[in-house]
Structure 1
Amino acid sequence: MTIDIIGAGIGGLTTAIALQQKGIRTRIFEQAENIKPVGAGIILANNAMQVYEKLGLRKIIEDNGNYIASMNITKADLNPISKVDLSFFEKKHKVKNIAIHRGALQQILINELKFNEIHLNHRLKKVESNDHGYSLTFENRKQIQSSILIGADGLKSVVRQGLFPETIIRNAKQVCWRGVTDFKLPGAYKNELNEAWGKRDRFGFVQIAKDKVYWYALKSFKTGKNEFSAHNIENYFDKYSSVIKSIISSTQKEHIHTAEISDLKPTSFWYKEKVCLIGDAAHAMTPNMGQGACQAIEDAYILSECLSKYEVHQAFATFQKLRLPKAHQVVKASWMLGKIAHLSNPILIGIRNQLMRMTPSSFNRKQSEQIFQIPHL
C-alpha cells in the first residue's frame, strides 16, 4: 500500500514518518521548488512532544531547540497577568515543551524519512475522483494516479476545495508579523514564552536557540492588512516594553513575514472514500493558542495508528471520531482568545486582566490538560 500526501509541512512530514514506522510507504508532493528554512519559530507543546517521543525524535528536537518552563500573558510593559507553569505536565507526560526554529524541525523530519519519496515543485492544480481513486494534476503538467490520498496542504487546501467544497474560511481581521533575530534575552525570559497584550494588539517572544529569538506580533485592522507595513512595526509597538522594542529593532525588516490571520470554520467531515484531510486542511486555527502545528502532529500520529489497525475507510472514520471534537474545541477557543486579547475599551481591558489574575491555577491546569492529553485507540 502506497499513500500519497499533498504537502511537506510539519503535518505532512510527521505523517510520513509515523506511517514509515508502521511499514507503510508514502509519496509526498510539495509545491515548493526546494525546502528552505522559513524565518519563523514553532512551540512544540506537551502534546506534540509526546508524539515525537513515540516516534523516537524527542532527544534530537530537544538538542536543537530551547526548553520552555512556562507560558505567560503580560501587559504591554511585561508585568504579568497570567502564568501557566508547565512543570506539572512535564512530570506527568515525561516530556518538555520545546521552542525550535521551524526550519530546524523541518530538516530533522526530512532526515528521518528513509524510503519515502518527496517530489518538489509539484503544486497541486486539480484533484478528481475516478474508478481507480484520484487523478492528481499538477501545475508542472504532470499527472499522477493515487489510490489513497491525504491532504496536508494547509488552509487553502486544493484537496479540500476539490473534494470538500462546502467549507468556509474566516478572516479574523488581524495582521500577523513573524520574525527571527539574533538577540540576547535577559536571563529571566530565556525559558519562557511571553505574550504581551496591549490595545487591539499583542507581541509574543520566545528563545529558540542560544541567543536566537522567535517573535510574533498581531494587530487588528479595519480595511485590510495594507493598513500596516512591517517597515513601520516599531511605531505600532512603541508603547511596549524596552525588551520588545529592542527585539523588533534587532530584526532585519526584509526578513519579517507578514500575513492576515484566518481559520477554517469547523466542518463535520474530514474524509470521504479514500481521501482524508489533516492539519490546517481539516481544522486550520488562528495562532492564538500555539496549537496549529501541534494539532497537525497529533493528527499524524493518530492517523498512522488507525491505518495500521484498520482498512482505509474504517481508519479514516476512526481517526475523525477520535480527533475532530478536540481539534474543533481548540479552533473555537483560539478564535475566542484572539477576540479577548484584542479588546480596545480600557474598562473592559481592566476587567479582563483582573479576571485573568483571579483565575485559579487549577483551572488553567485543567484547560491545558485537555489539550495535552493524547487519545488512545
Structure 2
Amino acid sequence: MAKKFRVAICGGGISGLTLAVALSKYPDIQVDVYEATGQFKEIGAGVMIYARTWEILSLLGMAQDFSRIAHAPPDGSLGIGFDYRRSDKPEVGSRFYLFQMPYGCIRFHRAHFLDALVAHLPAGIAHFGKRLTSYTYIPVAQRREPQIFLQFADGSAATCDLLVGCDGIKSVIRKQLLEDHVYKQGGDPRLLEHIEPIWSGMVAYRGLIPVERLKEADGTEHRTIRSPMMYCGKSKHIVSYSISAGSIVNVVAMETNLQLYGAPWKGPWVTECSPSEIQECFKGWEPEVQEMLGCLDRATKWAIHELKPLPFYTKDRVVLVGDAAHGMTPHQGAGAGQAIEDAYILAEVLGHPNTTLASLPKALVTYERVRLPMANHVLQGSKQSGDMYEFNGPLEDNLVPLGLQIGHQWDWLWTSTPQTERNRAFELLTQQKASL
C-alpha cells in the first residue's frame, strides 16, 4: 500500500513504543523508531496505570499480555488506589484516607512493561544507536513537498514527513522546537524558560524488596504486599506497592526541601546510595516503615525534576509526546498513563481518513487541543498532590479534610475516557475538513 506519510519517532521508551504499536494498524503510514541506545531499556523499577490507561491497552489488543505481568490480573473489580497513612511518629500510625476505584492501581515492573510493548512492535522499524542531534524543517517553498531532515550523533541522517519527540524530559527536540520558534520565528523569549527541566527540591530513594523478606515467621505479611501504601509525614513520604505478579515490592521514599524548588541540581540525576542513608532519613517513623526500609539491600537516589507547563506541543511538522511534552513529578503515578494517552490520541488522529500529508499540521493541532489541557492539568496536580502528602499544602496536617482533598485530586480520572477524547479529536478533524 502506498504510504500517505512517513513518521519518525525519536525515543524508544513507553511513549515512543506505544505510538509505534498504535500506528502499526495503519498500513498506509510508514513508521521508524530511532533509539539513542543500543537496545530498548527502562531505568527505574515500578510503573502504575489506572482504568483509563488499561482501556487503551485493551483497545490496542495488548490487555492479555499486560495482564500476565501485572501485580495481579486486572478484573475491573473495586481495588485500592492508595492507602494513606500518617507515619512520621515512633508509635503505630493510622490511616487517614483510603482511595478506591475500579481496577485499583495496576502495577508493573517497568522493564517488563517495556518488554510487553516491544513484543508488539512490527519488525524492521527500530533503529538503534541513533541519538538525534538536530533536525531541519525544509518548507514547501524549497521543494515540492515539505520534509524534515534528521541528523544523528553517529553521522548518519534520515528524512521524514513528521517528527515525533518521544525523547524524554531532557528532550533535544523540545529544545530545538522552542529555540527555533523564538529565534527564527520571533516567538516570546519566555518560551526559553520551558526548555530545561526544573528540580522540584525533592530527592527520591528507590529500591526493590522480595516479598518473602516482608513476611514474618508465622506467615504474617507486611501491609504493603496486598495494598499500595502512601506513608505520609512532614516534608517526606514513602510510596510502596507490589509488582512482578506480586513477587517484589517497589519502594520509593521521598524527601522535599521546598526552599530548593528551581535551584540548580549539580551532578547526575541518578546515583547509587546505601540503604542506611534512607533509614537515617526516616528515622523515628512508625514500626512498619522501619521494618520495610530495613529489608532494602540496594538503593538509588534520584533528583526529581519537572517541566513548566508548555503552551503548545507542535509547530510545523514536529510534535512532542510523553515526558518531552509534560515531564511531571511522580506523585499521582500518572507519567506513564499520560504518555500512553498521548500516543493513543496522536495515532488515532494520524490514522484518520481526513489526515493527509497536506493536512498534517492541522491534524497535529487537533492532537494538541485534546491532550495539552489534560496533561498540563495532571502535571500541575501531581505537584499539588506531593505537597499534600507531605503536609505542605494549605490544609497542612488537618487530616480529615486533607484526605477528602486528596481524593478530589484524582477527579481527572473520571472526567472523560480515552474513547470520548478520541471522538472529540475526530469531531475537530471533521470540522477542519468542512471548513476547507
How much has 1:229 moved relative to structure 2?
A: 7.5
- SS at structure 1 position matched to 2:388: helix
Change (3 A) 1:358 1:121: closer
Q: Distance in 2 between matches of 1:66 and 1:32?
A: 29
Q: Which residues in structure 2 correspond to 1:202-217 (within 5 Å)?
A: 202-209=237-244, 210-217=246-253
Change (3 A) 1:225 1:211: farther
Aligned mate of 1:370, from 406, 412, 415: 415
Q: Is the 8 A contact 1:39 1:257 kept in 2?
A: no
How much has 1:133 moved relative to structure 2?
A: 2.3
Aligned mate of 2:115, from 90, 107, 112: 107
- 1:183 maps to a residue whose letter is V
Equivalence for 1:193: 228
Q: Distance in 2 between matches of 1:229 and 1:112?
A: 33
Figure out how many residues of one structure are paired with residues of the other and give that number: 365
Q: Distance in 1 between matches of 2:107 and 2:39?
A: 24
Q: Distance in 1 between matches of 2:416 and 2:199?
A: 24
Q: Distance in 2 between matches of 1:48 and 1:324?
A: 17
Equivalence for 2:19: 15
Query: Gaps spanning 5+ residues in structure 1: where?
Result: 91-95
Q: Distance in 1 between matches of 2:14 and 2:54?
A: 13
Q: Which residues in structure 2 correspond to 1:253-332 (within 5 Å)?
A: 253=298, 256-309=299-352, 310-311=355-356, 312-332=360-380
Q: Distance in 2 between matches of 1:246 and 1:63?
A: 30
How much has 1:341 moved relative to structure 2?
A: 2.7
Q: Distance in 1 between matches of 2:406 and 2:35?
A: 45
Equivalence for 1:129: 137
How much has 1:116 moved relative to structure 2?
A: 4.7
Q: Is the 8 A contact 1:45 1:97 kept in 2?
A: yes
Q: Does 1:176 align with 2:223?
A: no
Equivalence for 1:220: 256
Query: Gaps spanning 5+ residues in structure 2: where?
Result: 140-145, 180-190, 215-220, 424-436
- 1:376 maps to a residue whose letter is R
- SS at structure 2 position matched to 1:244: helix
- SS at structure 2 position matched to 1:66: coil
- 2:304 maps to a residue whose letter is I
- 2:378 maps to a residue whose letter is V
- SS at structure 1 position matched to 2:397: helix
How much has 1:243 moved relative to structure 2?
A: 3.5
- SS at structure 2 position matched to 1:287: coil
- SS at structure 2 position matched to 1:376: helix
Q: Is the 8 A contact 1:178 1:258 kept in 2?
A: yes
Change (3 A) 1:360 1:64: closer
How much has 1:156 moved relative to structure 2?
A: 0.9
Aligned mate of 1:26, from 27, 31, 40: 31
Q: Distance in 1 between matches of 2:405 and 2:332?
A: 18
- SS at structure 2 position matched to 1:59: helix
Change (3 A) 1:36 1:277: closer
**Cα deviation code 1:235-273 (max 9, x no counterpart):** 1112334333343333332xx332211211112210111
Moved more, 221-230 or 74-83: 221-230
- 1:30 maps to a residue whose letter is E
Q: Which residues in structure 2 correspond to 1:78-157 (within 5 Å)?
A: 79-87=94-102, 90=103, 97-131=105-139, 132-157=146-171
**Cα deviation code 1:105-145 (max 9, x no counterpart):** 10111111123521122222222222442222222222222
How much has 1:313 moved relative to structure 2?
A: 1.7
**Cα deviation code 1:189-245 (max 9, x no counterpart):** 334221111121110011002321112111114477789983211111123343333
Q: Distance in 2 between matches of 1:119 and 1:246?
A: 45
Q: Report the structure number with the largest CA radius of gyration.
A: 2
- 2:247 maps to a residue whose letter is D
Q: Is the 8 A contact 1:181 1:251 kept in 2?
A: yes
How much has 1:38 moved relative to structure 2?
A: 3.1
Change (3 A) 1:250 1:32: farther
- 1:113 maps to a residue whose letter is L
Q: Is the 8 A contact 1:25 1:116 kept in 2?
A: no
- 1:6 maps to a residue whose letter is C
Equivalence for 1:235: 280
Q: Is the 8 A contact 1:122 1:140 kept in 2?
A: yes
Q: Distance in 2 between matches of 1:344 and 1:285?
A: 18
Q: Which residues in structure 2 correspond to 1:40-59 (within 5 Å)?
A: 40-59=45-64
Q: Distance in 2 between matches of 1:155 and 1:8?
A: 13
- 2:369 maps to a residue whose letter is K
Identity percentage of aligned residues: 24
Moved more, 291-300 or 129-138: 129-138
Q: Distance in 2 between matches of 1:80 and 1:284?
A: 30
Change (3 A) 1:79 1:372: farther
Equivalence for 1:93: none
Equivalence for 1:356: 402
How much has 1:72 moved relative to structure 2?
A: 2.1
How much has 1:39 moved relative to structure 2?
A: 4.2
Q: Distance in 1 between matches of 2:288 and 2:167?
A: 36
> When the two structures are superposed, what TM-score results if normalisation uses the length of structure 2?
0.77
Q: Is the 8 A contact 1:173 1:224 kept in 2?
A: no
